Amino acid sequence: MCCGTSDQSTGPLTDPAQLQVNVVVHRRVFEDGSSSHFIKGYVKDAMGKTIANPAIQLRVNGQALRLNGGSTNYYGAFPYYELVTKSDTAIQSNKMYTFTVVMTDGTEHLLGRIETQPDLDASHLALPAAHSRSQPLLLRWRDIESGNSWLSFWKRWQSETSYNELLVSKISERKDKWGHRVKEDGSSNQADYITLIIGSGGGSHMIPLSYFEGPQTRFNALSLMLNSTKTVDVSRPFLKGSSLSSERTRLYRIELVE
């Protein structure tokens, strides 16, 4: 990414062909079932510099996103547009979101549409609440990625791609006398992390007993993070590289017992 703000952040800008627009629709569900979400949009010029023009609007289903000056976190290091809502469940599963861009002269251009992924339940990834560290652990999943190879081919032809990744890691956690988690540490050893790529249909993976024996031996839980990303490329009149993405993250926890 290029540093600095584009000169097009001020003055009239009426041609959408001068814009690269990338929008992320993100939903995250935590271990306890609580959730968070956001929609963020990024606008750049042909040189990759951020356009932060208050006279340009990004809209989702007719609602304008707010222009934010940027912060220091991963998603907000540069000025971006964000959905402002009071509800943590405002972004729904299996819902179509339509994005448009309003130029400085008031003309509105369709950016594209993307449908969010369905919610996950125990039928998709069934996990025990606790597991013995003296036994291998079998992970099973099904329909994390819906459809079949023909549907995947049709989606690629429609410039839609999807990617599902399950990350398993060791956690050392400490709880207070009421059972509340007060501290959590992960491992710094790469061998304590397992990354599984999940396709359509069902599948399984056996975590061997050797995984629980090292390298990190002082841990009492497993953290599992399932990330699903669907991306739709945006065509003309916007610049190449424009896209819409729907991200679904689901967090799980397995306590380990002797």
**Tens-digit pLDDT profile for the chain (258 aa)?**
445 676 666 678 899 999 999 999 999 999 988 999 999 999 999 988 899 999 999 999 999 999 988 654 554 467 899 998 766 667 999 999 999 999 999 999 999 999 999 999 999 998 999 999 999 999 999 999 865 554 455 465 557 899 999 999 999 877 777 777 767 788 888 999 999 999 888 899 999 999 998 777 788 999 999 999 999 999 789 999 999 999 999 999 999 998
Q: What is the pLDDT of residue 113?
A: 93
Q: Which amino acid is at 171?
A: I
Q: For tokens 């998603």, what's the residue?
A: 75
β partners of residue 28: 36, 249
Question: For residues 129 and 150, what is the distance between their CA atoms, to the nearest angstrom?
Answer: 36
CA dist 228 and 36 (Å) reads 15
190 φ, ψ to 5°?
-60, -30
Which pLDDT does position 2 carry in this prediction?
Answer: 47
Q: What is the pLDDT of residue 137?
A: 97
pLDDT for the residue numbered 152: 56
| Contact (Cβ atoms closer than 8 angstroms) between residue 124 and residue 141 | yes
Helices (H), the chain: 149-157, 209-213
